[in-house]
Structure 1
Amino acid sequence: MTGPREIARAALTFDAAEAPALVDRLMSPPATRRWKALTTDGGLVMVSLSERDPTIGHIDLLAVHPDAQGKGRGRELVAAAETWLRAEGATQARFAGNPPAYAWPGIDVRYTAAACLAESAGYERYHVAWNMTARLPVAAEAEPPLRPGVELHTAASGEDRARVAAFAEREWNANWAWEAANATGLHYATLDGEIVAFAAWGARPLWFGPMGTAPAARGLGVGGRLLRRCLADQHAAGLTETQIGWVGPLRFYSRAVGARAERVFWLYRRDLR
């Protein structure tokens, strides 16, 4: 029950393999983020402030080693997290992901004890999110030729990553730009030399995402191709399945790679007084 990584590995039974990497990611957020890791004997809570609205605080990760469970550690950690958030000016606390460096969108419903703790501590459920699972490798399929002027690329250099990150921030937001810059794998498409789409994996350890296609390139078929390039990378890295995180377009991923909706997350919040 020593360090945060060991506590997380023992406590997060559905995510044990990637638990240390999750702790490392939460400890390496964007430089502008205010965050804190708090521990008790056998327990860990990681908490941060939203950069979009600093009055909102996020309980990013809560873990209690099995040997310390049943002793009130979880409630102590939630109280400690709320105390830190109040001191930092937050007026609301959430069990919800704080993009771009997050562990989960909310509480995985399989961690039932965590959901019960949140509700007993006065948190209300306000949203539901889900992931999709894609089996790897994805079956190969014949694809039509790309239209003239369209090219696919791997962002192999820092300069490439910076260009894709700038595109993601311009078209979407700074969170996606950070994830593109910090992803394990990053692919993009150009139309007549200009970046028009990208797809990333590993910004949130082991998961796919984000990806986006600018309006000018929609209908060209580049999104599915970039997705499949990323999933091929993940299979080459030894994965037999991947999570497509915080999904919006179910139909796209279902048709493109046979993904299925699977993990469900409940998002909770409570006003701090």
Structure 2
Amino acid sequence: MDHPYELASLSPDLVPGVVALCQVALDLADDAAEAEVIVGRLRHPGPLPGSAGERRTTGWVALSGSDVVGVVLGSTGFRDPSVGHVDLIAVHPDHRRHGIGRALLARVESALAGFGARAVALVGNAPVYAWPGIDVRYTPAVCLAEASGYARESVAWNMTADLTPGSLALESTAPAEARLAAAGVAVRRAVTADVPGLVEFAQEHFGLGWGAEISESAGIHFAVRDGSVLGFACWGSSRPSYFGPMGTAAAARGLGVGGVLLRRCLQEQHSAGLSSAQIGWVGPVPFYSANSGARIERVFFLYRRQL
């Protein structure tokens, strides 16, 4: 490196400096506002409750004197430990174009290779992630990925749900819940005793990683009929502003369960002080648009490179 920067392993005493860096280096306001939660979440080692597999983590910083001016966080994949993930990379705006990002990326690739990774993905390592990939508006990160030999594999997107008064997301669910009740379906907010059963339901119907996201959620709502879970929705698992995951059993689709659970969660996020919510890594765009008025807003490039 042709500058007076030092690379060092991320130790606990450097975490406050990393958070302060991210509050400046993450240019999008929503990301900067949740920097502390994001850093804490991504440093979470595995295994997690309700998750299969183990998540090994590594973190490196670039120091200018005692100041943290760059950071990279990486982890091994829950589903496939042969694939490492770069979960976060950020460089202070005043210290860009000095090779810091490239040096940090090389260092985390080496660390992940030491864990046994044969490929590295710039893709969220669900169930512990802050973004699906690189937001297309983070141009320096996109440039770094492509200059470093990463191939763009796919595109993902988040949707934004408006949570201000008068929005579709805040419309009362009472009429829909009354119709469900007439069909024998009860909808309620989960308490601690409900969580193991919901984790089991999610793992059976949607995959092992879903259980961990439920376990880490700030709020969960679910529907039952005759003692059997029909569907669930949660929020605050990845980040406070994020909704999801949610899932409905195939036998219950078409009843309107999903729309009710979605809006109940969004309304709870509104009560927690949010004026909008991110629906992360969206699949069924028409469903979220019709039931909450959500719109596609954040688009992400997903990259991978063989080591």
- TM-score using structure 1 length: 0.96
Would the aligned equivalents of 1:29 and 1:101 in 2 still touch at CA under 8 Å? Answer: no
Rounded to whole Å, the distance in 2 between the matches of 1:127 and 1:89 is 24
- In the other structure, the counterpart of 1:265 is 300
* Shift in Å, 1:70: 2.3
Rounded to whole Å, the distance in 2 between the matches of 1:67 and 1:28 is 29
Cα deviation code 1:168-217 (max 9, x no counterpart): 11111111110011101111110111111000100011200000000121
* Shift in Å, 1:8: 1.4
The RMSD of aligned alpha carbons is 1.4
Name the SS for the 2:34 alignment partner.
Answer: helix
- In the other structure, the counterpart of 1:127 is 154
- Of 42, 45, 49 in structure 2, the residue corresponding to residue 26 of structure 1 is 42
Rounded to whole Å, the distance in 2 between the matches of 1:30 and 1:192 is 35
- In the other structure, the counterpart of 1:140 is 171
- TM-score using structure 2 length: 0.85
- In the other structure, the counterpart of 1:98 is 125
Cα deviation code 1:223-254 (max 9, x no counterpart): 00000000001000111011100000010001
Rounded to whole Å, the distance in 2 between the matches of 1:82 and 1:154 is 42
* Shift in Å, 1:29: 4.3
Structure 1 residues 188 and 160, CA gap change in structure 2 (3 angstroms): same
Overall identity of the aligned pairs, in % = 50
1:173 aligns with 2:198: no
- In the other structure, the counterpart of 2:60 is 38
Name the SS for the 2:137 alignment partner.
Answer: coil
- Of 4, 7, 25 in structure 2, the residue corresponding to residue 11 of structure 1 is 25
1:81 aligns with 2:108: yes
1:238 aligns with 2:269: no
Would the aligned equivalents of 1:131 and 1:244 in 2 still touch at CA under 8 Å? Answer: yes
1:111 aligns with 2:138: yes
Cα deviation code 1:10-64 (max 9, x no counterpart): 1112110011111111122432211111111111100011122111110000011
Runs of 4+ with >4 A deviation: none
Rounded to whole Å, the distance in 1 between the matches of 2:184 and 2:295 is 33
- In the other structure, the counterpart of 1:160 is 194
Quick one: which amino acid aligns to residue 178 of structure 1? Answer: A
Name the SS for the 1:197 alignment partner.
Answer: strand
Rounded to whole Å, the distance in 2 between the matches of 1:116 and 1:256 is 37
Rounded to whole Å, the distance in 2 between the matches of 1:30 and 1:88 is 14
Quick one: which amino acid aligns to residue 58 of structure 2? Answer: K
Rounded to whole Å, the distance in 2 between the matches of 1:268 and 1:177 is 26
Cα deviation code 1:140-175 (max 9, x no counterpart): 154361143210111122x21111111111111111
1:149 aligns with 2:149: no
In the TM superposition, what are the counterparts of 1:188-227 in structure 2 within 5 Å? 188-205=222-239, 206-227=241-262
Q: Which runs of 5+ in 2 are unaligned?
A: 1-13, 48-53, 64-68
Rounded to whole Å, the distance in 1 between the matches of 2:38 and 2:110 is 24
Quick one: which amino acid aligns to residue 165 of structure 1? Answer: V
- Aligned residue pairs total 271
